[in-house]
Structures are given as C-alpha cells and as structure tokens.
Amino acid sequence: MGEGPDDRLTFDLLAASIRADAADLGLFLDLLAAKFERALPGLVDVHREGGLFRRRGPVQGLTVSLGDHRYELQRHGHRLRSSVALQGRGITLRTDEKPLGEWIDVLSRDLADHARANSDARAALGRLLE
C-alpha cells in the first residue's frame, strides 16, 4: 500500500507527539504509559512496580501489541530498553532491540497503518495525539 501525503502527516504527527515526551526519560515512560492506556486500552499492557494489576506506582515497562508485532519499552535503572518482537501463532520468532528514536518511528508507523485499516483505531490515534 502506498503512502500518501495525509498518511505521512499522520505518521509525522504521531512520532512528534511521542518524541515530545521523550525529552525527560525519567518521566517519559510514565507519560507514554498514561497516554497509551487512555488511547489504546485493548492494545497496551502497562507493567507497574508491585505487579501487573496495580493502577498506581512507577511504570516499569509497557507492551503494545499490534498484529504480529509486540513493541516493548522497559525501564532499566536510569535507561530505557526498547525492542520489537515478531510473533507467529503466539510464539516469539525474533526480538530486535532498537534505539529509542527508531522504536518510536517503527511504532508510530505501525499505529498509523493500523488506524488506516480500522475506524476504532483511528479514534484511538486521535486520542493519542491529544
């Protein structure tokens, strides 16, 4: 599928929105988790200190599942570890660590593609850009 000017604009806006929060890595994961929980409730799992079902507490990581890709961002001390896993039939076939900027680009592109194919996802993308 080709990428038109509107598709490129959507991707650029989404990537810029996520990057805007990345200036302070200490807060980035918490802000991104809050945005994703609000905008993508069926696609994101947020892992908090003290367990998966805690609603409060420091965010230790998050996972966004889109199709056969799983995007993970994990806190490791004062650093963040970002990776993309390819899955097939529930089995992880490959996991690639990515620099944060590249992870943001790949996730943003996949979210924009997902939104083009699904009206509920388009609404979620709009909430993510708020």
Domain count, the chain: 1
Name the band, by pLDDT with cuts 50, 70 and 90, for residue 72: very high
**Residue 83 falls within a domain, yes or no?**
yes
**Residue 20 falls within a domain, yes or no?**
no
* pTM assigned to the model: 0.75
The model's pLDDT over 93-114, given as tens digits with 9 standing for 90+, comes to 999 999 988 998 899 888 888 7
**Residue 7 falls within a domain, yes or no?**
no
> Which DSSP category does 80 fall into?
E
Q: What pLDDT score was predicted for residue 93? A: 93
Task: Give the whole-angstrom CA distance, residue 114 versus residue 7.
Answer: 11
**Residue 41 falls within a domain, yes or no?**
yes
Q: What pLDDT score was predicted for residue 27? A: 80
Residue 84: helix, strand or coil by DSSP?
Answer: strand
**Residue 14 falls within a domain, yes or no?**
no
Q: Which domain holds residue 70?
A: 26-128
**Residue 13 falls within a domain, yes or no?**
no
